Structure formats: C-alpha cells, structure tokens
Amino acid sequence: MTHTRRAFLGTASAAGLAAALPLRASAQDALQIALMVPSPAADVGWSRTLLDGTEAAAGAVGGEVTFLESISEGPDADRIMQRAVSNGARFVILGSFGYMNGGLQLARRFPDVSILHASGYQTAPNFSPFAAKYYQGTYLMGMAAAALSTSGKIGSVSAFAIPELITSINAFVLGAQAVNPEIECSVVWVNSWFDPASEREAAQALISQGCDVLFSNAQDTPSVISVAEEAGVYAFNLNSPMKSYAPEKYLGVVGTDWAPFFTAQAQAHVDGSFEGANHYLGMEDEVVYVSDWTPDIPADIKTRIDQTQAEIVSGAFNPMTGPLTDQSGTVRVEDGVTMTRDEIQAMDWHVAGVTTPLPN
Amino acid sequence: MRFELIRRDRASLEMALMAPVLALLAAGLVSWALFAAMGVPAGRALWTIAATPFSTWYDFSEVLVKTAPLLLIAQGLAIGFRARVFNIGAEGQLLIGAICASAIPVLLPSAGSPLLWVAMMALGMVGGAAWAAIAAFWRTRLNANEILVTLMLSLIAAQILTYLLLGPWKDPMGMNFPQTRMFQPGALLPGLLPGTRVNLSLLFGVAATIAAYVFMQRSVTGFRLIVTGTAPRAAGYAGVSAARGVWLSLLISGAAAGLAGAAEVAGPLGQLQRSISQGYGFAAIIVAYLGGLHPVGIAVSSLVMSAIYIGGDNAMVFADLPQSAVLVVQGLLLTFYLIAATFVRYRIAWTGTARA
C-alpha cells in the first residue's frame, strides 16, 4: 500500500500555510519516499517494478511512499517533484530519463534530499543515476530466439533510441548470432514509453515482415506480447513477467528487481551515507534476472543458455566483448576487448545484423 | 415524452453567474460519491483539488505559470470563434511557434545577446500565424473546412517536431534522447516574480486580454468580424468581406498560439522537447467557451482551469488519488458547467407525450 501525509492538509491549512517550506517536523517521522513515473502503474512493466521496489524499500526502512504516476516530462514534472519535496519527501526516485534536468535543479535546491534517477548520465552529491544491465538478459533471450526462429528474422519494438535501449537490442542480436550467425533483426522505434496503439501497429509491421520472435524493448504495456501471441510468434519483454498475456508463445522475461538496490540506497540516506554515484546494476547485483522461459527451447540450447548465464553472473563472460562490427562493417571493438562500462552506457551504434538504421 | 430546447428571450445575469457555482457543487457531489466508493477520504481529496492551488504563494505562482499559455491562446481563439471561424488546431500552431522560436538558440548556440528572446517571440508569432494561414488559404480558396485542416495540421506539426528532435536538432550531448540542447540565458524569458517560475508570458496573456477587449468591444474591424459570424448574409450585403474575416481570425489565433509555444520553450522548458504543451492548445478551446468567448470571462476561466490542473496534481501528491480519478473530476466539472450554461440560455419545453 502507498501512504501519503494524510495529516498534512489539516495542519497546513490551519497554519495559514507555509507548505513551500520543507517540513522539518517530518525528520523524526517515517522517511517520506516519492516515486515519479511517466506511465500509469499497470499490473506489469517498468512503473510496476519500480513501485514494487520502492514499497519494499519503504517497508525495510520504515518509510512511506507517495506514488506519482503518469507525469509527462516537462514543467509539470518539475512542479510535482518540487511539491512532493515541499510536502516532506526526502528520498525521491525519478523513473524517467526526461526528469533529469528538473531533478538536478531539485537536488541543488534541497541538499538534504537524496535522489535516484533512472537512465541518466548526470551525477551530483545527492543525485545518482541508476540503470539496469538489461543487455545481460537480452543476450540470453537472443540465444533462445535464434533457436526458435524459422525465418531467421527477429525484431524489436523499442521506445527511444537512447544508449540503454540500443545496447539491449545489440546484445539481443549478438546472443542470436552466437546460435545462428546469419540471423537478422529489424527495429521499430515508437518514441514513447507508453503507447499501446503504436506498439501494436509496430509489432504487426514486424510480423508482416517475417519476424517470428519479437523483443518488446522498454514498453510499459503488454501490447507487443499479446499481438505476438495472436500471430503465433514468440515474444519477450523487460522488467516484469507478462506470461499471462501470452500463455502459448511467451519466450520469457528479462526482469528487474529494484528492492535490494532501493533498500540499500534508502538505508544509506537514513544513515547519512548517501553518495552521488552512477549505479549500473546487473545479474551479479541480483537486480536483473531471467525467468518464465518457454519450454519450447531445445534442450541443448537451454543448457548453453544456462552456462552462459552462470558465466555472466560470475564475470567470466561479458556479451559486449569484441570482435564487434557496426552496421557499416567497420570493426568497433577489437577481438577479445570488452567494452568499458562508460562505452556500453554511451553506445550509439548498432552491431552488424541489425538491419534498420538508427534514427539520426 | 418529447422535449426540446427553446432559446430564452433573455438570459438572466444572476443565473449566468450562478451557473459555475452550481456546476461546481454538482461536480463536487458526484466526485464525493465516487471517491467514497473508491475508499478514498473524499472530503480531503476534494479540498485538495479546490483549495490548495490558492493556499500558498508557491502554488498560486504555479497556477499563474499555467494560466499564461491558456489565457493567450484562448483570447486568440475566442476572436475567431465569435466570427464562426473554428480554429481547432491551436496545438499545432503552438508547436510550430515553439519550433520557430527554438531555431534561434539551436542554430546560433553561441549568440550571446541578452535579448535573443525578443526575436524568438516574434518568430514564434510569425510561425504560428503562418501555420494557421495554410488553413485560411484553403478555406477561402477551396472552402475547405478549417476545423479539419487546422486539426490535421496539428498532427503534421507534431511529426515535424519529432523529426527535428530525432534528427538535425538533437542535443549532441543528450545521449540520443529526443530533445535539443538547453538554451543559453539570453534565449530565456525574464522572470516576472522572483523565486517563482512566473515569467513574461503572463504579461503577454494580460496584454492579449486587453487587446482582445479593445478589438472586439470597441473597434469597427472587431464589430465586422462578429457580424460575419452572427449574420453572414447581412455582412455580405453591407460589403463586409467574409474571406477577410477568415484570414484575420486565423492569423490572430495562430499568432497567439505561436507566441504561447515560443514562451513555453523560452520559459519553464528552456529547451525544445517532445512534450511542449501538455495539451494547452486543446484546453484553450474549453477555456474560451467557459469564458463565454468574452475577454474578461476568459481571463477568469483560464485561471480556474489552470487551478483545476494544479489542484489535480496536488491531489495526487497529498491525497493518494490516482491520476485517472483526477481526470474524472476535471471532466465532471466541465460537463456540469456546460449543462448549466446551456440552461442559462435555453429552457426545456415539453411538447407532449411520446407518439407511436
């Protein structure tokens, strides 16, 4: 359950109101945590996993959650996050790249507030970007996809062409090429985190092009998954399992569990040890996981997937290791060289095998 | 039973003033029942929506930030609506205005003049007016319906924006995210009230209100416009050009929407990005009609409308209301107001029982 400061209005209106000032009184109360996301928290998807993680963190540190959903990126978001802080929130989780500039201003104005910001690249003493290494999971999904694809064509419906999503697609294709070097991948960018109609159309377009495994990349709706089920092609998605939308053709999920990370950060805030840092979290941190695999994957491939997964967790293998060639055929990462974390987080090129050019 | 709406001979002033109050009460009652059924403490939720926008200086300043574009666009639209020229595409003209204004800081990132914003506002107005002029051209040339043309031009404007943000105007440091670089200080509108986000665009809105009042209530051109709207034939006999009315209506409303768009990117946004307006172009249509298409009424309705928005957002922060419940309350308010406003001007006449 989410809770808000129910007592606030009574006291505030009685006091003639200095609500724009931070409420010092809340210091000895429970930690007020605010979570802001751009889409509604459905039963599944990005916003839901963030909310689950936030509530788990609140439970662990004895905090209360104010949940702010469907906040479009822009002046409204800036105002609402400011409002939440004025209302006592001291630990703020911003669930979209587009909240970055407003969040940074907020961090500067309120040094006693700790802010976690999804998918960004700016850091401040009380402002930490965080992101999941989805590519670890999408590589494994790519291996399964190549084994199940009969057409040799796979596709992805993707939200925005930012490095995080580009990397996920690249790893998906690299994993597929590990099983079938000839495989090709098409991408449709819908330029929205939450747009069921466009996602549906994009999925149908990919299927009509012959793609028989789809990757729903960073959508907060099960549209792609259900279109794939209707058309009888496999599909997987990120963040939370959507098997109920595709009982027959669900390939699996690259899930995220934010509870351990959010809890640790909220605890750090309470202890006064919160530090601004770039958190890039993967399977080794138990933030990224894969589950709900379809039983249709051939046994030998499934064994390879499990081995690869173990190597990723142990650090013995990194999918973003050369030789990596870009779409023009130029070698971008030499044989045996592993991309650095900064390179991965700034990846703005597709590997060979992705047939759609990047929007530039 | 059959009934029809008969126009009242005279709408009473008291009822006209009571209509919004009654609408507020009715919407409050239905929302109350709705919240109670949802298990949300209804009184506190409604109080949050209705009172918090005015309860602190910060909240009220944010109401003013939102009022500025609504006021500006609605004043422009109302002029056209009274001439029966229905510009439904203010959203598109706003986007084009924002794009044209952004051209200066995006293409000249090192320009250091502190008055860049003046040129940006001018470009925004020209851009918005030019976008609306397309509809005026087709309306006067081919009698193409301006409702459809302006509405569809909005979709084209949105695609142009997406193209620029994904392509030539993308921030080179922005990690491929569809947005431009942040504008330099000279490209930002001066603030109006220290410590708040209220900027010069509020004055644009106030100036537009005064100009609209003088134009519509006092000038011959304004009078001619109204006549072409209310009595097109009489206007024709009197030698008033209908085509001129179409051009004037669309150019004025387009320029106002373009200026609003320019003021948004040079104001609270500080960059060109995907979500510029939060639907101001469409909301302003409602604002214009809520204000009775009268400049003074619109000044009030734009303030009320933005207060409802701010109150709704606050209800999410303070009262645990989901976003969808907030939208329902806003919808109820508008619906009840339109019902009440209809009864001010019309009465129901029962014309007997149903016939077989």
Is there a single domain that holds both residue A336 and residue A206? yes
Give DSSP secondary structure letters for A81-140: HHHHHHTT--EEEE-SGGGHHHHHHHHHH-TT-EEEEET----BTTEEEEEE-HHHHHHH
Q: Which residues of chain A neighbour B177 with C-beta distances below 8 Å?
A: 97-98, 160, 162
pLDDT for B355 equals: 52
Q: So what's the pLDDT on residue A6?
A: 36
Q: Cα distance from A71 to chain B (closest Cα, Å)?
A: 9
Tell me if chain A has a CB within 8 Å of the CB of B194. no
In 10 A of CB B182, how many CB atoms?
17
**pLDDT per residue as tens digits for the range A289-317:** 999 999 999 999 999 999 999 999 999 99
For residue range A86-137, what is the model confidence (pLDDT) as tens digits? 889 999 999 998 899 899 989 998 999 999 999 888 899 999 999 999 999 9
What is the average pLDDT score of chain B? 88
Percent of chain A whose pLDDT exceeds 70: 92
Q: What is the pLDDT of residue A89?
A: 93
Q: Examine residue B163 and state whether it is found in any structural domain, yes or no.
A: yes
What confidence tier does A279 reach under pLDDT thresholds 50, 70, 90? very high
Report the alpha-carbon distance of residue A78 to residue A74 in Å, rounded: 7
pLDDT surpasses 80 at A58: yes
Same domain, A105 and A180: no
Say if residues A303 and A143 touch (Cβ distance below 8 Å).
Answer: no
**Ranges A307-316, B161-170, B341-350: which has the least confidence:** B341-350
Tens digits of per-residue pLDDT, B209-254?
999 999 988 888 888 888 888 888 888 888 888 888 899 999 999 9
Which residues in chain B are closer than 8 Å to A191, comparing Cβ atoms?
A: 162, 166, 178, 274
Mutate which: B316, B324, B326, vs A, most A CBs within 10 A: B316
Residue A97 lies in a domain: yes
Q: How far is B171 from chain A (nearest CA, A)?
A: 11
* DSSP state at residue A54: H
With CB atoms and an 8 Å threshold, state whether A4 touches B319: yes
Under 8 Å between Cβ of B266 and B188 = yes
Cα–Cα distance between A132 and A309 in angstroms, integer?
A: 16
Nearest chain B residue to A69 by CA distance is: B323
Q: What's the distance, CA B303 to chain centroid?
A: 11
Q: Verify that A295 and A208 share a domain, yes or no.
A: yes
pLDDT band (50, 70, 90) for residue B15: confident
Q: How far is CA B133 from CA B87, B125, B129, B137, in A?
A: 11, 12, 6, 6
- Is B347 inside a domain boundary? no
Q: Is residue B5 part of a domain?
A: no
Please check whether residue B258 lies inside any domain of the structure.
yes
**Shared-domain flag, residues A196 and A277:** no
ipTM for the predicted complex comes to: 0.72
Region of poorest pLDDT, from A16-20, B52-56, B88-92, B301-305: A16-20
Residue A359 in any domain: the answer is: no
Residue among A13, A68, A346 whose CB faces B55 most closely: A13
Average pLDDT score, chain A: 89
B278 contacts A4? CB cut-off 8 A: no
Q: Which two tokens stand for residue B141?
A: 């040339």
Query: Would residue A350 count as lying in a domain?
Result: no
Residue A2 inside a domain? The answer is no
SS (H, E, C) A327-358: CCCCEEECCCCECCHHHHHCCCCCECCECCCC
> Does residue A3 sit within a domain?
no
Distance (Å, whole) CA B276 – CA B127: 16
The more confidently predicted of residues A44 and A320 is: A320
B306 touches chain A (CB under 8 A): no
Rounded CA separation A278/B50 (Å): 41
Cα separation, A339 vs A4, in Å, equals: 44
Is there a single domain that holds both residue A174 and residue A294? yes
Q: Which is higher by pLDDT, A139 or B301?
A: A139
Distances (CA, A) of A1 to A54, A267, B39, B179: 11, 20, 13, 36
The answer on A307 and A268 residing in a single domain is no
Residues B337, B339, B345, B347, Cα dihedral to 10° = -150
At A223 the pLDDT is: 92
Same domain, A195 and A87: no
Residue B240's domain comprises 75-288
Amino acid identity of A102?
A: G
Does pLDDT of B100 surpass 90? yes
Domain region containing A124: 8-132+258-281
Domain assignment present for A77 = yes
Would you call B55 and A80 a contact, using CB atoms and an 8 Å cutoff?
no
Residues of A in contact with B269 (CB under 8 A): 74-75
Average pLDDT over residues A251-276: 95
pLDDT of res. B316 = 82
Amino acid sitting at position B300:
V
Task: Please give the residue that has the higher pLDDT: either A312 or A28.
Answer: A312
Token pair recorded at residue B242: 């209908």
Q: Is B173 helix (H, G, I), strand (E, B) or coil?
A: coil
**Is B210 contained in some domain?**
yes
The residue with tokens 């205005």 is: B97
3-state class percentages of chain B: helix first, strand second, coil last, to nearest 5: 70, 5, 25
What is the nearest CA distance from B56 to chain A, expressed in angstroms? Answer: 6
- Percent with pLDDT over 90 in chain A: 73
Does residue B87 fall inside a structural domain?
A: yes
At A71, give phi and psi (nearest 5°).
Answer: -95, 115
Whether residue A208 sits in one domain with residue A93: no
Domain presence at residue A358: no
- Do A227 and A272 belong to one domain? no
Q: For residue A9, which residues of chain B lie inside 8 Å, CB to CB?
A: 44, 47-48, 52, 318-319
Q: What is the separation, in whole angstroms, between the first and last Cα of chain B?
A: 11
* Residues A216 and A330 both lie in one domain: yes
Both tokens of A299, joined, read 């046994």
**Distance between CA atoms of residues A304 and B310, nearest Å:** 55
Of residues B55 and A179, the one with the higher pLDDT is A179
Same domain, A159 and A198: yes
Domain count, chain B: 1
Q: Answer whether residue B103 is part of any domain.
A: yes
Which tokens hold the place of A71? 């906040």
Are A214 and A321 found together in one domain? yes
- Three-point CA angle B231, B234, B236, nearest 5°: 105
Q: How many domains does chain A have?
A: 2
In a domain, B333, yes or no: no
Question: Is the pLDDT at A23 greater than 80, yes or no?
Answer: no
Kindly give the pairing relationship between strand A250-256 and strand A288-291: antiparallel
In a domain, A253, yes or no: no
**What CATH number does residue A73 fall under?**
3.40.50.2300
Q: A-side interface with B, Cβ within 8 Å? A: 2-6, 8-9, 12-13, 17-20, 34, 40, 66, 68-70, 72-76, 78-80, 83-84, 86-87, 97-98, 101, 121, 160-163, 166, 191, 346, 348, 359-360
The pLDDT of residue A24 is: 40
Q: Does B48 touch chain A (CB under 8 A)?
A: yes
SS3 for B135-159, per residue?
HHHHHHHHCCCHHHHHHHHHHHHHH
Q: Are strands A114-118 and A91-94 parallel, antiparallel or unpaired?
A: parallel
